[in-house]
């Protein structure tokens, strides 16, 4: 602790001193005239938006200054930034009046052509590499991967729709647009369209006319922006600080990755990684670029393993930053009945398996190989992840752990097959209706039990092994429940067959 105190004092004094020097020599990074105009009203109208932005890095530098940094510490990936943006801070107007012609949602506001929704295409003006990489993730395609896949959409509709009870039967109605925006599409992203004008009355500022937007508000990872670009950067770098610190903290990922269908945050919390983060993380430096293993942090967060540029204390790069998170993921272990290799293309709606469905595996688990990455690409990605593991663990540790993941995939896939066999028998023997009778496969008790067996339990077991949070995979949402629900399904079929 003494040692840490003195280092802290040194840093503090150094930092303060150098900042004083800066202040003496340098002028504050200049605001554009347009941004100054925005601030005039919005400091009072939406004070937190302005106050947050003032704390952001974007308010404290200019693209020109940011581009001068060495490649490892640089936070801007553009080689060239439009002249007019170079020497002012990235303020309100720089983003909200960028590319007005490309935004169907542009409206006149004050003297400016403004759009409400800043798109990932706007952000890529300064961060093109991140945008390009991000587009190669399933997450960027999360809207289409749900909406363009009839089976997925049927599931979403059965889950989110409304129900009436008439003549002893439940009658289903499709979900309202509000419900859709506030259920699956909250995370997957809405399809945002600029509609007509919208007049807003404000006591202090009078009447303002803006553009009405469908699917707004939304910060889903696969949001279709009004300009057609995919993804909301604010899903992980929230407005209006847009910081790397927040994106590196596991609570950010937990917004979409905490439920029983994809409980990675809950598993992280019962893992040794999560325990150390919880106990000691408050002393770590989440803002440093590059992120130095053991110095800036002592145990990984989600970002460490999946995204960040990591170096050792001597400055040697262990892994490169990549917003193409799939670079370190070789198997798809959640969201689907069977685990399978990752798809070739992030647009999974193009997959057709041997049963004719847009799923990477058939009812019996056979992978639709031509749409999935091969052994070599899987090896490359696994090696990249192993490079992260061995920053903190010996080789035998890492390899044994990875072998456990191979095993758990095999075992859970086999149990999914058993579960599916029970479902198929239930359909064949007429105990449930299913697609053979032109009914949804998601609206009867046994069908939902089948969904739980893989969507909740098998997935959780796999994830708990992948992330070393084993406790979650037994009693919390795993093996106890998986085997129980199979016993229940089998008994149900047996009993009902007898009664028939």
Q: Which residue do the tokens 């300064």 mark?
A: 126
Site for a second copy in 430-459 (CB under 8 A): 443-445, 448, 455-456
Q: Is 438 exposed, middle or buried (0-12, 13-18, 19+ CB in 10 A)?
A: exposed
Stretch that binds a second copy, among 85-93, 223-231, 342-350, 409-417 (CB under 8 A): 409-417
Q: Tell me if 73 contacts a second copy by CB under 8 A.
A: no
Site for a second copy in 29-48 (CB under 8 A): 43-48
Q: Tell me if 386 contacts a second copy by CB under 8 A.
A: no
> 478 near 461, Cβ under 8 Å?
yes
Q: Tell me if 347 contacts a second copy by CB under 8 A.
A: no
Q: How far apart are CA 303 and CA 250, in angstroms?
A: 8
Exactly one of 36, 40, 108, 278 binds a second copy (CB under 8 A); that residue is: 278
Q: Tell me if 179 contacts a second copy by CB under 8 A.
A: yes
Binding mask 366-385 for a second copy (x = CB under 8 A): --------------------
What stretch of H or E contains 208?
Answer: strand 206-213
Stretch that binds a second copy, among 30-38, 65-73, 137-145, 408-416 (CB under 8 A): 408-416
Q: Tell me if 313 contacts a second copy by CB under 8 A.
A: yes
Q: Tell me if 71 contacts a second copy by CB under 8 A.
A: no
Q: How far apart are CA 174 and CA 161, in angstroms?
A: 5
Exactly one of 112, 154, 261, 349 binds a second copy (CB under 8 A); that residue is: 261
Q: How far apart are CA 105 and CA 98, in angstroms?
A: 12
Q: Tell me if 473 contacts a second copy by CB under 8 A.
A: yes
Q: Which residue do the tokens 């105990």 mark?
A: 431
Q: How far apart are CA 10 and CA 12, in angstroms?
A: 5
Nearer to a second copy, 194 or 368 (CB): 194
Exactly one of 187, 230, 264, 302 binds a second copy (CB under 8 A); that residue is: 187
Exactly one of 99, 113, 246, 366 binds a second copy (CB under 8 A); that residue is: 246
Q: Quote the least distance from Cβ 159 to a second copy, whole Å.
A: 5
Site for a second copy in 88-127 (CB under 8 A): 116
Q: Quote the least distance from Cβ 356 to a second copy, whole Å.
A: 24
Nearer to a second copy, 339 or 486 (CB): 486
- 3-state per-residue secondary structure call for 294-309: CCCECCCCHHHHHCCC
Nearer to a second copy, 71 or 316 (CB): 316
Nearest CA among 221, 223, 249, 224 for reference residue 235:
221
DSSP string, 82-149: -HHHHTS---HHHHHTSSGGG-TT-EEETTEEE-SS--HHHHTTT-HHHHHHHTTSTGGGHHHHHHT-
DSSP string, 304-325: HHHT--EE-TT--EEE---S-G
Nearer to a second copy, 19 or 80 (CB): 19
Phi, psi dihedral angles at 258 (to 5 degrees): -135, -25
Nearer to a second copy, 128 or 281 (CB): 281
């Amino acid at each position: 602790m003494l040692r840490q105190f003195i280092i802290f004092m040194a840093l503090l004094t150094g930092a303060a001193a150098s900042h004083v020097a800066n202040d003496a020599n340098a002028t504050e990074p200049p605001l554009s005239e347009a941004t100054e105009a925005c601030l005039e009203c919005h400091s009072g109208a939406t004070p937190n938006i302005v106050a947050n932005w003032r704390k952001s890095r974007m308010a404290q530098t200019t693209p020109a200054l940011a581009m001068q940094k060495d490649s490892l510490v640089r936070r801007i990936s553009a080689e060239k930034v439009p002249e007019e943006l170079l020497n002012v801070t990235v303020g309100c107007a720089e983003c909200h009046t960028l590319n007005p012609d490309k935004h169907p949602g542009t409206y006149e506001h004050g003297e400016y052509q403004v759009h409400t929704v800043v798109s990932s295409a706007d952000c890529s003006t300064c961060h093109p590499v991140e945008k390009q990489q991000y587009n190669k993730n399933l997450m960027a395609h999360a809207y289409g991967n749900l909406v363009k896949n009839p089976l997925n959409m049927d599931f979403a509709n059965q889950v989110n729709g409304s129900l009436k009870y008439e003549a002893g039967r439940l009658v289903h109605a499709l979900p309202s647009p509000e419900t859709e925006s506030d259920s699956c599409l909250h995370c997957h992203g809405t399809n945002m369209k600029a509609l007509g004008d919208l007049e807003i009355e404000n006591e202090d500022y009078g009447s303002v006319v803006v553009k009405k937007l469908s699917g707004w508000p939304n910060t889903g990872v696969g949001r279709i922006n009004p300009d057609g670009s995919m993804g909301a950067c604010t899903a992980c770098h929230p407005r209006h600080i847009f910081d790397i610190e927040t994106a590196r903290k596991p609570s950010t990922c937990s917004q979409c990755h905490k439920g029983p269908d994809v409980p990675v945050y809950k598993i992280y919390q019962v893992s040794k990684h999560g325990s150390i983060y919880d106990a000691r993380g408050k002393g770590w430096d989440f803002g440093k670029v590059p992120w130095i293993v053991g110095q800036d942090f002592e145990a990984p967060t989600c970002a460490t393993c999946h995204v960040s540029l990591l170096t050792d204390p001597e400055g040697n790069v262990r892994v490169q930053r990549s917003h193409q998170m799939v670079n370190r993921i070789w198997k798809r272990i959640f969201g689907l009945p069977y685990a399978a290799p990752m798809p070739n293309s992030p647009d999974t709606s193009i997959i057709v398996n041997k049963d004719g469905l847009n799923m990477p595996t058939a009812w019996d688990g056979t992978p639709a190989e031509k749409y999935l990455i091969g052994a070599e690409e899987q090896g490359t990605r696994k090696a990249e992840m192993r490079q992260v593991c061995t920053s903190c663990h010996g080789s035998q540790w890492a390899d044994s752990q990875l072998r456990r993941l191979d095993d758990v995939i095999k075992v859970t896939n086999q149990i999914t097959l058993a579960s599916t066999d029970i479902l198929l028998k239930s359909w064949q023997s007429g105990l449930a209706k299913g697609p053979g009778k032109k009914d949804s496969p998601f609206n009867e008790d046994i069908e939902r039990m089948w969904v739980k067996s893989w969507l909740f339990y098998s997935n959780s077991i796999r994830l708990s092994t992948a992330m070393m949070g084993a406790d979650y995979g037994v009693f919390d949402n795993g093996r106890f429940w998986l085997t129980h629900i199979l016993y229940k399904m089998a008994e149900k079929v047996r009993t009902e067959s007898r009664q028939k």
